Amino acid sequence: MSYRAPERLNIARHFLDDRVEEGRGDRVALRTDHGTSTFEQVRLLSNRFGNALREAGVRPEERVIVSMPDRPEFVGAVFGILKAGAVVVMVNPDLEPEGIRALCQYTRARAAVVGGPAAGTFAELAGASDARVFDVDDPGTAAAIGTAGGEFDPFPSHRDDAAIWLFSGGTTGRPKAVVQSHASFANTAELYGKGVLGLTPDDGTISVPKLYFGYALGSNLFFPFSVGASAVLFAERCTAEALFARIERHRPTVLVNVPTMVNRMVSDPSAPRRDLSCLRLATSAGEALPPELHRRWDEAFGVELLDGLGTAEMWHIFLSNRPGDVRHGTLGLAVPGFDVELRDEEGRAVPDGEPGRLWVRGDSLAAGYWRESAKTRDAFRGEWYVSGDMLRRDPDGYYVYCGRADEMLKVSGKWLSPGELEDCLLRHEAVREVAVVGAPDAEGLVKPVAFVVLSDGAGDAVLAARLQDFARRQLQPYKYPREVRFRSELPRTHLGKVDRGRLAREASGSEVDRARGETPPGGAP
């Protein structure tokens, strides 16, 4: 399967205006707690934003920040910016003021469309520059946008023009802006949204991640819009209860999920009473999905869960399980239209069963990182993107996630994938969440340290020793955690992933919440 984007392509027209021109303007596009919006209403809103931005002096190729909770204005702003030929930069609306300042300086945004508590910080920054801030919660601004012109001819963008900046930071390090083109978004919508998920106009989507995540922007906006389907939006922070309530109210057919929320949903006391019968499938990405957690999901809800892998550098999912072909513990197969290879540090192919660095190519490849030429040269090699992810391919050709290259642990001279130990510990009834990192011991040798969130109660040295023994009995002896530390919750990055960098620093220091287990006589070093 392949897709070739036309030379002239503006994805605002491609995903939105074309639905109206096809005669689907009256179909419901967005569902919220306050009502619904049709494709025609979203088109009109985006045109008003486009006109307001143009009148404010925003020109093609200039960056415009969008920072607000999920709501129709977010969607209207994104499409309005794209119609103006400008570049969308999506920012977490819960970011602290210092983070907002750093991103504004980094992006040199010409304008910002904002809502919620961060609006004051943006207004303060705008006062020291010539950037224009549109606060959609300000009555005057809302009225000005609401009365702006309702017609707007989208800028005739080239398929290779920058459309959206996505942020890539993995689980460590400062986020980098990945410059993605109009063609990338159209390509993956065709290959994955239609080709793998099989979306049709009768579908409806709902997402755990918010729209400022590239994963959600695709799966809960661009993909359903590409076929005339609807998307459910809600502004509040996603909890298991909030998600269950909206699934039961709006009856979507596709749930866009992440492992953390999978865990919270299956652990929720109300799970056995919840009605998820409307769902035909769910997806998981963003972090590794442990097989044990996948098994619990199947047992609790019986909804097919497709684990997959994508990166901002390739915009979205390029490895995925398929409806009717789900293998626990794997990322499935390459999405048709993408090529995937595993290679060693010298760029040589590794045999099946051995971990290798991920190389991927396809027509969703980004242009590179903004103002990061050295990192761009390292990661983008011709038509290939060289990821920091380590995978292995099983004998049947299915890919298994091993971890980030900088997270793989060399223990007793052998490789240990943190995910393998995490999945093992999750099978213990006392464990709700776990993250494994490496830390040097007194001799400078790497040891695995497990940070555990318990299902109930507090941890102590006795339970730590039990968990160590449990892992020793399930895995090869060298893979058990040399330390178990208990936390009330795991720290997370701005993208919602477990902050392994912070945990690694903590593991290398002395923390009061440590519960150390003793190595038994004759135990593994």
* Residue 298 pLDDT class (50, 70, 90 cuts): very high
CB count within 10 Å of CB 471 equals 24
Query: How many alpha carbons lie under 13 Å from residue 10 in its C-beta half-sphere?
Result: 24
Longest dimension (CA), the chain: 78
Amino acid in the structure at residue 243: L
pLDDT above 60 (res 9) = yes
- The span from the CA of 178 to the CA of 369, in Å, is 5
E-strand ranges in 328-430 read 333-334, 339-343, 356-361, 368-369, 380-381, 384-393, 399-404, 409-411, 414-416
Higher per-residue pLDDT: 523 or 265: 265
Residue 474 buriedness (CB in 10 A; 0-12 / 13-18 / 19+): middle
Question: Which residues have CB under 8 Å from 35's CB, separation 6+?
Answer: none
What pLDDT is stored for residue 270 in this prediction?
A: 96
- The span from the CA of 471 to the CA of 425, in Å, is 7
Average pLDDT over residues 501-525: 54
How do residues 61-73 score in pLDDT, each as one tens digit?
999 999 999 999 9
What pLDDT is stored for residue 511 in this prediction?
A: 41
Average pLDDT over residues 231-246: 96
How do residues 443-501 score in pLDDT, each as one tens digit?
777 899 999 999 988 899 999 999 999 999 999 888 999 999 999 999 988 667 889 88
* Residue 353 pLDDT class (50, 70, 90 cuts): very high
How do residues 16-49 score in pLDDT, each as one tens digit?
999 999 999 999 999 999 999 999 999 999 999 9
Distances 10 to 72, 162, 253, 277, 459 between C-alpha atoms, Å: 20, 10, 28, 37, 54
Nearest to 70 by CA among 37, 47, 100: 37
- Please list, residue by residue across 483-515, b when 16 or more beta carbons sit within 10 angstroms of its beta carbon and e when fewer do: bbbbbeebeebbbbbbbbbbbbebbeeeeeebb
> Of all residues in the chain, what percent carry a pLDDT higher than 90?
78
Residue 220 gets which letter from DSSP? I
Average pLDDT over residues 347-362: 95
Average pLDDT over residues 49-64: 97
Distances 73 to 17, 32, 41, 206, 508 between C-alpha atoms, Å: 17, 12, 11, 17, 45
Handedness of CA 107, 112, 115, 120 (dihedral sign): positive
What pLDDT is stored for residue 170 in this prediction?
A: 46
pLDDT above 90 (res 417) = no
> Can you state the angle between helices 291-301 and 418-426, rounded to 10 degrees?
40
Tokens encoding 392: 């292995």
How do residues 108-139 score in pLDDT, each as one tens digit?
999 999 998 888 889 888 776 788 999 999 99
- The span from the CA of 523 to the CA of 246, in Å, is 50
Complete edge-to-edge strand list for the sheet that includes strand 305-310: 35-38, 28-32, 230-232, 204-207, 254-257, 281-284, 305-310, 317-320, 333-334
Residue 319 gets which letter from DSSP? E
**What is the set of domains in the chain, with CATH numbers?**
11-393 (3.40.50.12780), 409-515 (3.30.300.30)
- Please list, residue by residue across 211-236, b when 16 or more beta carbons sit within 10 angstroms of its beta carbon and e when fewer do: bbbbbbbbbbbbbbbbbbbbbbbbbe
How many residues would you count in the chain?
525
Question: Which residues have CB under 8 Å from 41's CB, separation 6+?
Answer: 29
What pLDDT is stored for residue 477 in this prediction?
A: 83
Average pLDDT over residues 316-320: 98
> Of all residues in the chain, what percent carry a pLDDT higher than 70?
95
Long-range contacts of 41-44, Cβ-Cβ distance < 8 Å, separation of 24 or more: 42/16, 42/72, 42/75, 42/76, 42/79, 43/16, 43/17, 43/79, 44/150
Amino acid in the structure at residue 478: Y
Report the run of H or E that residue 114 belongs to, with start and end.
Answer: strand 111-114
Beta bridge partner(s), residue 274:
none
> Can you state the angle between helices 240-250 and 259-267, rounded to 10 degrees?
90
How do residues 132-187 score in pLDDT, each as one tens digit?
999 999 999 999 999 999 999 999 999 999 999 999 864 445 679 999 999 999 99
Average pLDDT over residues 365-392: 96
- The span from the CA of 286 to the CA of 495, in Å, is 9
Q: Phi-psi region for residue 70, left (φ > 0), alpha (ψ -120 to 50) or beta?
A: beta
pLDDT above 90 (res 286) = no
pLDDT above 80 (res 240) = yes
* Residue 275 pLDDT class (50, 70, 90 cuts): very high
What pLDDT is stored for residue 407 in this prediction?
A: 78
How do residues 195-225 score in pLDDT, each as one tens digit?
999 999 999 999 999 999 999 999 999 999 9
Tokens 């440590």, located at residue: 514
